[in-house]
Every structure is written in C-alpha cells, then in structure tokens.
Structure 1
Amino acid sequence: MSTASQTIKADIVVIGGGPAGVCAAIAAGRSGASTVLIERYGFVGGMSTAALVYPWMTFHTTAGKQVIRGLGQEIIDRLAAQGASPGHLRDTVGFVHTITPYHPEVYKILAVDMLKEAGVRLLLHSFTDAVQVTDGHIQSIQVTGKSGRFNVEGSIFIDTTGDADIAYLSGAPCLKGREEDGKTQPMTMKFRMRGVDLAKVKQYMLDHPDEFYRKTPFAELPDLPLSGVMGYFKHWKEANLPINRDQVLFFTGPNEDEVLVNTTRVQGMDGTNIEDLTEAETLGRKQVMQVADFMTKSLPGFERASISQVGAQIGVRETRRIDGVYALQVADVVEGRRFDDVIARSGYPIDIHDPSGKGVTAAWVEGDGAYDIPYRCLLPQGIRNLLTGGRCISTTHEALATTRLTPSCMATGQAAGTAAGIAIRHGLNPGDINIAELQQALRDGDAVLD
C-alpha cells in the first residue's frame, strides 16, 4: 500500500475549484495568506464548466436590484472585457429578473489568471480522499493524483466541494436531501446544440404564448434579446418521452445559433454513491440523445440543429450539506429575513426540482426581494478550523434550493475566503473572528450586505 511521501503546507487550503472555491481562494490569497486550491479536474469551474451549468442566475432581485457583486461581478466584468459575457440580461423565461451568460472556456482561463494574480497555488488532477483530525482541528488532508499520494497541511481549510466531502471525512455532522426521507433533487445531464434558428423560436413564442411559461415577459419580448425559453408544453406532452419532466427548458448562447438544454432528469440517485453516479451518467447521456432527437424533429427553429457539446459530468443539484451552527430556513428566505452576521445576500427564489415528481416548486422572496445568508451557515459543528462555501453550507433542503445557485455560491465563497484570511491574521479559529471586521472587509471587496 502506497503512503503519502510529500507534504505541502499553506495557511489556507481550499478544496473544490468551482465558483465558490475560486472566489474563496482568490479572497484568501488577496488577504496575504499563503493559499492552495485543490481541484479534481484538469480545469476549474466546477458545475459551471464540467456540467455546463449555464447561465449564472441571478445577481438581482425580481425587481432588478443587484444584491450580489464582489468577486462574482469582477469575474463578469473581466469576461465582458474579453467579449466572453454580455453581462446581465433580462431573463426571457421570466423566472428571475436577470441571467448572466458567459463563455465557459474563457472562464476556465480567466479564473486561473485571477488565482495566480492572488498568489494562489493551484493543484489540478488532485482528489482528496482522507482527512486527519486531532482534537477538533484538521491537521492535514491526503490528496491522490497522477504523482501519487501527498499530504496538504494548513491552518484553516475551506470545503467548497459541493458535496461537503471534507466536512464529512473530518467527522463534522452532515445532512443529505429532504429531512423526512433523504431524497435529493434530481440530476441533469446538460448539453448544447448549434444551428438553432432563434428568430424562428422567438416568433413561435409570440404566436403561441399559451405554450410557454406563464411568467414569460411577452409584452417586452419583441424588444428583448432571447435569453431563455421554458415551455413547448404541447410538443413535450405529445412526445411522451420517458423523462419525468413537464416542459422543455433551454438558454441561448454563448454563440448566436446556440442553446444550452436543461431538460433531462435523473431521479432517485445519490450523487455521493459511485454506483448511483455511474448509472446516472449513463442514463443522463441516453436522455440527451432522446431529447435532442425530439427537439430537431418537433420544435420550430430546431430543424437544422445538432448536439455540439455534452457535459463532462452530470449536473448535481443536491447531495450532502453541513449541519452547521445555523441552518438557513425556508422562512428566512421567503420572508427576506435579515441577520446581524450577514455575509451575503441573494434574490434567487426557492426552486426545488421535485425528487420524484415532474414539476418544480417555486416560492419568491417577499419584502425587498432579498434575504441574508448568515456567517453561522458557513461554520460546521465539531471542527473548529473548517469553513464551507457554496452548495454545502448549512441549510434545510428547501433553503438549499436557492443557496445552491452559482452567484450565491460565489458570494459565500468570497465570504469564506475573507473570513479565513482574517482568522490567519489574528491567529484565531474562524468561529472566533470579529463579525464586524469580516463585514467591513467584505464591503471593501464590493460585497452587498445592506
């Protein structure tokens, strides 16, 4: 049996290179702390790149007020400067006010550039498979890659794996799925199609509004760039595909004749079980072929379309999350509650893809349209030098249905990295830092907390 022979040391160790991890590592690196980011793929971006989760939604409330900026907005601005994002566009699905398209291949490069600018050491093709804990402190993690096994030691660790892998391996209490039965939201294999006549799609929507989502902004649609479509209810029902969903959903771009299709649905699988994941990947790819064939044969505007890309892995909405110091509740979201230890805000609604049925359960945020995410949601119980960011922060199953979205993950990632930097500077555990100092540092980083 091989053993870890090399040791890498850093002040802050971030595990998981998705949007939350990228923002956490950049924030930690900019604080002056030595920082390592560990990612299992050969590129960063997480679900945004490996699983084609596109576009980012949403940085705004339903009324159009921007409530997430910070590093997320900086990334968008830099993508836009390279012609790789149009910025925030009106959501022509009508589910939220804005969505943010981006070119994933440019994002992969830009994210690495920003990490290097912040002094972050990046370890790709590296998978964490063990955590060493002493008296409630993580001492090191064991990482396996092409060059064998090695240890990474740190003072503070940030779990942005999406699946709470580090928290789980460390022994911190975790939860999975619905409280009553453990069932999780379904997985989706996303894919792109080129050769789509979007002008024809838009005209069909205007001519047949009853076949599309009721909140589609039809009155404004003639003057808006088509950014997303939900509907084709009649066509979908007639096709009678063996996919437990009730409509077609796709988003346009990044190219003029291109769409990202979010319509497959794999239910009843555990995204932390390798046999379930294997089956989900296989079933998801079969569903891609079924959906693409249906779209080219049945949907106006798709007559000349063809598959141009399928996700490197299936998109996972929900697996483990920490059972943290505080769990964000559905009432906190819907009622737009404020918290003294706020470290991020979000205007994305509750958006639960039914674990076993066809539909989606949605609930919008009341009041000013935004809710607070408290710092306590980033803190696990039992492990004092661990923070979380992104999809695995502490929430209920229902509240996860909003915090799992990418802009919120970017915001909680930035907060985790900033908090870790403050903890290193003062020689404290993350749970002992001054909240006012953290909030001021986040405001200085252009985060929206008010």
Structure 2
Amino acid sequence: MYGNDDRYDVAVLGGGPAGIAAALAAARSGAKTILAERYGFLGGMSTMAMVYPWMTFHTSTGKQVIRGIAQEVVDRLVSLNASPGHLRDTIGFVHTLTPYHPEVYKFLVFEMLKEAGVKLLLHSMVTDVEVSDGRILGVHLHNKSGKHIIRSKVYIDATGDADVAYLAGAPWEQGDERQRVQPMTMKFRMKGVRIDEVKQYMQAHPEEFYEKSLIQELDHLPLTGVMGFYSQWKKADLPIPREGLLFFTGPGKDEVLVNVSRISGLDPTNVEDLTEAEMEGRKQVLLLESFFREYVPGFADAVVTATGTQVGIRETRRIIGEYVLQGVDVLDGRRFDDVIARSGYPIDIHNPEGKGVTANFIREGGAYDIPYRSIVPMQVENLLLAGRCISTTHEAQATTRLTPSCMAIGQAAGAAAAIAAHRQCAVRDVPIASLQGELLKGNAELGLEEGRA
C-alpha cells in the first residue's frame, strides 16, 4: 500500500464535467486539491459515453443561466476551433445546444487542471472509504501501483454513481417509486452522412419530425439536431423501444452522433446488469447502422466510426441530502436563498420500461435554483456531492443530470469544499453568503439580482 502520507485540503473523486469543475474551483480558491479518475482520460459521460452536444446553458427564452467554469470551457474550446459555441437547437426541445470536439476537450481539461495546480491521478478506482463518527478519514483507491489512500479535509463525490457517499454510509435512493431507473444508451458516431439530403427531406416532410422542430428556419440556421423519421422507424420495426430517431450533427461536417439505442430494465449499479447492457448496446448499434443505411435519407454510404467506451448511464443512486430538490421546484422555477447553481433544462424522463419520453417544461420559460443543501449529504460532515448523484427526486434528477448543470454544481461544490477546508468546519456550516460571493467572483450565474420568491 502506498499514498498514506498524501494529504490534501480537497479530494475530488471522479473526473467527469462535475469533477473537473469542482477541482478547478477548489484549486483556484487556494486549496491543495487532488482529482482521481478511474479511466485514463477525463470527461465522464461526455467522453466515455459520447454524450453530445451539451444541453443547455440557456432557458427556453434564450437567457443564459449557466456561466462560470462551464462557459470558460466553451470559450477555450471555441478558441481551439473545437466548438462553434452555443447554437440554436433545431429540434426545438431547448433553446440552445453546444457542440464540441471530445478529443480536444480531453486535452483542454488536462491543461486547465495543470494550470490550476491540481494533482491528477488517473486509472484509479474507489474501492473503500474509511469513516469514523460521520467523518471520512480516507478514500481507498486501486490502480496499477496497488492500493492507494487519499486523506483530505474535505471530499467531493463526483463519481456519478455516488460511490464515495454510498461507501461512507450516506442514505440514498434510486429510480422511481418502483426503483426503476431511466434506460441506458450506447451512443455512436456515423461518418459519411450527407447532411443536405437530411435537410431536404425534413423540409419536404415536416410531419415526420418533432412538432417543435425549426424546419422552416433551416435555410438560415445550421442543422444541429434531428428528432423524427417516424414512418421509417415504424416500417423497420426494430426491437428497440423508441418512437423515432434522435441524432445530432458534428463535430465533422459529414458526421452525426446517434442517440437511439435503449437498454431498459437493468440496474447500472449491478455488475451483471451492467455487463448485459454493454453487450446489448453494441448489438443495437449494428442493427441501427444497417437501418440508417437502408431507410434514412442521407445515410446510404454512412458508417459507424466510434462507439462509447462504455454504455451511457442516465440515472443510478441519488444521495439524500439536507434538501431533496422536487419536481415541482423545477417546474415552478423555484428560488432558494442558498442557491449555488441554476438551470433552464426541462424535466426529461426516458421511460424506464418502454417507449416514450416524458417532457415537462419550466413555467414561463424560466429557470430553477439548485440549493446548497442539495449537495450536502446527510450523516457525513466532510463530504459534498457533485453531478447526477445530488439530492433530488427521480423527476428533478431528470434535469439536474444534464452536463451544463453538472458543471455548475461542480463549481459550487469545489468552492464550498475550499471554504470548509480553510475554516475547518463541517460542510453544512459553510456560510452561504461567502460561498455565493466566491461563485460570483468565478463568474457563476446565480440570479441574485432578480430577488427571491
């Protein structure tokens, strides 16, 4: 065993978008910070599961409500010609989406963490957590060097599946009232797509596509996403519980990211179920490649060029925190005094057992607050949550799980952890005014000037 003398102010476990933002925020606040990740690259679902594009930084009326480190990442990708920035969502589901080049993103976040002075440990998986009297004493990792222990004043669980909080004994729940989680998806890219043919078909057959699609605006807007081809999908009658196609263009001019595979009824925290999902997902990719080439205009010569490193996971454990964000909080655009992030993404639940997506939109096209109490777990005094595992209901998690929201939550968790480490206080005792001040200095968007409901 090695690493027993590794001591930090803040330890971030999990290097997805939330963990990256958390580590950057903590280090920039002066905390000695380490970030541990199980893969050999960073990016979480954005890179390992090909979640693309990022949705969304804006409300449905076009107001930007996520900035800070998330926007900084986009700006730096733009400067590297790896993103066009925020574009209109031509599906019409949200106002904007943000394409990006995942390989450049992998490189960029390495550079940003190095600039901030974050210690990075890759190929390292959490295996155990030492806890005494409700306080984490150390997190055990396993990697090529053997066993490793990280000791820190404050820890941030950004593992996605809440592995650290779960092992530390924090209370949790999963799924809906019957413990059913949203389905998994194996995403994949296809190259050789004739985008002009896709656009022409959409303009000639608007009834075949999602009712909010911006088809009439495609003469002056770039096609960013497509939901539909309903008759082709019905005719093919594939054994995949979807009602139509969903894909997004880019990053290459003849390239698309396909989000159609659906693997239902399995538990992503159960290794046997997860194994079955990986196999079923790749089987579905081959079925879908043949379908696209035979049935979908513009895809006759297209081929699959990449699949996710792992299957995409929408939902697993949700840790119970000092406040459980409710679906009604989201839909009412509720404001909280302890706001640490905001989002304008709707509630978007993929049916756990069959076809269909339940979409519910925020009142008056607004945004909702995410309170600090929802990233503070019960029963563990030096742990914060970041990413899709924060304290929400099944319904509210269907919006907080989206990447820009996770980035904003991660920034807040990192800033709060740095404050707790500096003050040597429990995370629940972090002064909200001080935290909000740090977030505002980091260009986060909290909507404080709009007052409270």
Normalised-by-shorter TM-score class: over 0.9
The answer to whether structure 1 residue 230 and structure 2 residue 227 are counterparts is yes
Corresponding letter in the other structure for 1:115 = L
The answer to whether structure 1 residue 269 and structure 2 residue 266 are counterparts is yes
Match of 1:408 among 390, 405, 409: 405
Q: How many residues align?
A: 447
For 1:209, the equivalent position in structure 2 comes to 206
Moved more, 363-372 or 268-277: 363-372
State the 1:217 CA deviation.
Answer: 1.3
Tell me the SS of whatever aligns to 1:27. Answer: helix
State the 1:28 CA deviation.
Answer: 0.5
State the 1:4 CA deviation.
Answer: 5.5
The answer to whether structure 1 residue 427 and structure 2 residue 419 are counterparts is no
Tell me the SS of whatever aligns to 2:215. Answer: coil
- Contact 1:136 1:383 (C-alpha < 8 Å) held by counterparts: yes
State the 1:147 CA deviation.
Answer: 0.6
Structure 2 CA distance for aligned equivalents of residues 99 and 47 of structure 1? 16
Structure 1 CA distance for aligned equivalents of residues 114 and 428 of structure 2? 28
- Contact 2:60 2:365 (C-alpha < 8 Å) held by counterparts: no
For 2:141, the equivalent position in structure 1 comes to 143
Corresponding letter in the other structure for 1:190 = K
Corresponding letter in the other structure for 1:90 = R
The answer to whether structure 1 residue 335 and structure 2 residue 332 are counterparts is yes
1:421-445 deviation digits (Å, cap 9, x = unpaired):
1112212111101101111110111
Structure 1 CA distance for aligned equivalents of residues 262 and 3 of structure 2? 43
Corresponding letter in the other structure for 1:240 = D
* Alignment map for 1:146-225 (pairs within 5 Å): 146-178=144-176, 180-225=177-222
Match of 1:440 among 431, 437, 440: 437
* Alignment map for 1:30-429 (pairs within 5 Å): 30-178=28-176, 180-429=177-426
Structure 2 CA distance for aligned equivalents of residues 137 and 278 of structure 1? 33
Tell me the SS of whatever aligns to 1:392. Answer: coil
Structure 2 CA distance for aligned equivalents of residues 125 and 329 of structure 1? 36
Tell me the SS of whatever aligns to 1:131. Answer: strand
Structure 2 CA distance for aligned equivalents of residues 222 and 367 of structure 1? 29
- Contact 1:24 1:418 (C-alpha < 8 Å) held by counterparts: yes
Aligned-pair identity in percent equals 61
Structure 1 CA distance for aligned equivalents of residues 364 and 248 of structure 2? 29
Structure 1 CA distance for aligned equivalents of residues 327 and 218 of structure 2? 32
Structure 2 CA distance for aligned equivalents of residues 419 and 76 of structure 1? 23
State the 1:218 CA deviation.
Answer: 2.0
State the 1:201 CA deviation.
Answer: 0.3
State the 1:368 CA deviation.
Answer: 5.0
TM-score, scaled relative to structure 2: 0.98
1:217-242 deviation digits (Å, cap 9, x = unpaired):
12212210000000000000010000
State the 1:321 CA deviation.
Answer: 1.1
- Contact 1:96 1:348 (C-alpha < 8 Å) held by counterparts: yes
State the 1:324 CA deviation.
Answer: 0.8
Structure 2 CA distance for aligned equivalents of residues 173 and 182 of structure 1? 15
State the 1:119 CA deviation.
Answer: 0.7
State the 1:48 CA deviation.
Answer: 0.2
Structure 2 CA distance for aligned equivalents of residues 20 and 125 of structure 1? 18
Tell me the SS of whatever aligns to 1:421. Answer: helix
- Contact 1:13 1:156 (C-alpha < 8 Å) held by counterparts: yes
* RMSD over equivalenced CA pairs, Å: 0.8
Corresponding letter in the other structure for 2:294 = K
- Contact 1:6 1:149 (C-alpha < 8 Å) held by counterparts: no
Structure 1 CA distance for aligned equivalents of residues 3 and 423 of structure 2? 31
Structure 2 CA distance for aligned equivalents of residues 271 and 38 of structure 1? 21
Corresponding letter in the other structure for 1:79 = L
1:219-268 deviation digits (Å, cap 9, x = unpaired):
21221000000000000001000001111000000000000000000001
State the 1:367 CA deviation.
Answer: 3.2
For 2:451, the equivalent position in structure 1 comes to none
Structure 2 CA distance for aligned equivalents of residues 394 and 7 of structure 1? 32
Structure 1 CA distance for aligned equivalents of residues 42 and 9 of structure 2? 21
State the 1:172 CA deviation.
Answer: 0.4
- Contact 1:7 1:150 (C-alpha < 8 Å) held by counterparts: no
1:92-111 deviation digits (Å, cap 9, x = unpaired):
11100000000000000100
Tell me the SS of whatever aligns to 1:325. Answer: coil
- Contact 1:4 1:142 (C-alpha < 8 Å) held by counterparts: no
Tell me the SS of whatever aligns to 1:56. Answer: coil
Instruction: Give every structure 1 segment of 4 or more consecutive aligned residues whose post-TM-superposition deviation is greater than 2 Å.
Output: 3-7
TM-score, scaled relative to structure 1: 0.98
Tell me the SS of whatever aligns to 1:439. Answer: helix
Corresponding letter in the other structure for 2:420 = A
